[in-house]
Amino acid sequence: MGKTKKRSGGGGGGGGKAAKDGGGKRSDADAMVGSDDDGPEFDDAFEDEFIVEEPVGGDGSDDEEDARMDEAGALSAIAADLARDGDATATACRDPRENTAETAGDLECDPRAYRMLHRLGSDWPCLSFAFVPDGLGGGRTRFPHSVLAACGSQAADGDHRLTLLKLEGLGRMEHGDSDDSESEDSDDGDGAGDQIAESVAFAHPGCVNRVAASRLAPGILATWSEDAAVRLWDARAETAGLLAPPGSGPRPAPRSARKASATAARAAEGYALAFSPASAASLACGGNDGSLAILAGDGDLRATASWRAKASVEDVAFSPTEATVLMACGGAAASLSVYDARHAGKAMLTRPNAHGGEDANALSWNSAVAYLVATAGDDGVARVWNPNRFKIPST
């Protein structure tokens, strides 16, 4: 089941599928899924340090009405928190799955929800972006901030681009009603000053469905294109130029003539694309035809392992600790599957109907807690899973 893409120049990226009404039953994934007899578990040195709670309702058999009452209560609590400053009548919170053409309207930003907020326009919508490591580490708290990212466009005129974007001078928002004066950050200023945006664009054949950036080799990028090709880009020189201190030399030109360093033709286009955080030479891609493969990301993009899913592969992520292990989420069957490159051709663990029979569109493997994976689907629900508790497939 492929995604449809917008071709107009307005609005956001059109890679997502239309959301469906998600008022179905709760799954056992709303907390930590599975029971002790769900199958073999991998050894986990940190398992005893976390408390695994039972799903709401104990056996996961809450009916639809109870589930929706729980959601309504959670939304009411959020609204109460937002209105705690006394402006209760000005704050509204609603479930986006209940929106209709008559009630949706335009959503307005509440600046009280942000410590930093900047807006940046682009010539054309982008379906995907990826953060590029800049050597400054994660968990940053001191202002002003900077960020380096790669994004790909879907241009109506066919002038598609892969763009490296560097943003600097991103300052903290000023809240007039703040009483604590941000004491914990009082030594770093508010980041006020000039915001600087620099970019380098590469001509790209076809619309860019997905962008991925290597964590282990900053500047090595990959793209999935609507022309059913996965491409590898060596943008390390441009990355180094953007990260160089101002005044240290000439800045990179806004347009680069660099071409893709390698191309892998696939049978169908796709959207699932990810570099391994444990191996610089591994790149996974999943297509709308159900194909899933690990490509050698060291220059030639040859397939080193491959599998065939029962439906389209919507997203893929590598284990943060095991270089050969990855997980994919699918289309019509809405399944989550764990694969190992040492056992190509079959899934090692699966969780069918992960989103109540709806498509599972996105997943993210926690880089800090290796046995937690988050997914999102067309049922309008985000779920957290422990893949150690998935079952071994029967066939």
Q: Are residues 276 and 395 in the same domain?
A: yes
The answer to whether residues 280 and 308 belong to one domain is yes
Residues 276 and 196 occupy one common structural domain: no
Instruction: State the chain's mean pLDDT as an integer.
Output: 77
Helices and strands (DSSP H and E) totals, the chain: 2, 20
Among the listed ranges 77-81, 112-116, 260-264, 278-282, which one has the minimum average pLDDT value?
Answer: 77-81
**Per mean pLDDT, which range of 289-303, 309-323, 331-345 is the poorest?**
331-345
Domain assignment present for residue 309? The answer is yes
- Report the percentage of the chain scoring pLDDT > 70: 67
Name the residue among 388, 263, 391, 385 with its Cα closest to residue 325.
Answer: 388
In terms of domains, do 254 and 281 share one?
Answer: no
pLDDT at 321 over 80: yes
Residue at which a domain ends, from 265, 290, 318: 265
Q: Are residues 257 and 372 in the same domain?
A: no
Look up the domain containing 327 and give its range.
26-54+268-395
Asked if the structure places residue 71 within a domain, the reply is no
Query: Are residue 325 and residue 245 in the same domain, yes or no?
Result: no
pLDDT tier at 269 (50, 70, 90 boundaries)? very high
pLDDT in tens, 121-177: 888 899 899 999 999 988 888 999 999 999 999 898 889 999 999 999 999 988 765
Is 90 contained in some domain? no
Note whether residue 100 is domain-resident.
Answer: no
Q: Name residues whose C-beta falls within 8 Å of residue 241's C-beta, 6 or more positions apart in sequence.
A: 200, 249, 251, 252
> What are the start-end ranges of the E strands in the chain?
126-131, 145-153, 161-170, 196-203, 208-213, 220-225, 229-234, 255-256, 262-265, 270-275, 282-287, 291-296, 303-308, 313-318, 325-330, 336-340, 349-351, 360-365, 373-377, 382-385
Structural domain includes residue 60: no
Residue labelled with tokens 């479930």: 95
Predicted TM-score (pTM) of this structure = 0.73
Question: pLDDT grade, residue 192 (50/70/90)?
Answer: low
Residues 249 and 234 in one domain: yes
66-83 residue pLDDT tens:
555 565 665 566 556 555
Q: Of 299, 317, 293, 305, give the one whose Cα is nearest residue 375.
A: 317
Rounded to an integer, the average pLDDT of 374-384 is 90
Q: Are residues 218 and 291 in the same domain?
A: no
Q: Give a yes or no: residue 19 inside a domain.
A: no
Distance of CA 78 to the CA centre of its chain: 24
CATH of the domain at 293: 2.130.10.10
> Are residues 218 and 285 located together in one domain of the fold?
no
Is the same domain home to 250 and 356?
A: no
| 97 within some domain | no
**Residue at a domain's end among 226, 249, 265:** 265
Q: How confident is the model at residue 6 (pLDDT cuts 50, 70, 90)?
A: very low
Q: How many domains, the chain? A: 2
Residues 296 and 375 reside in one and the same domain? yes
Residues 290 and 211 in one domain: no
- From 233, 265, 297, the end of a domain falls on 265
Q: What radius of gyration, in Å, describes the C-alpha atoms of the chain?
A: 22
Residues 29-66 pLDDT 10s: 443 333 344 443 434 444 444 444 444 334 444 444 55
- The answer to whether residue 10 sits within a structural domain is no
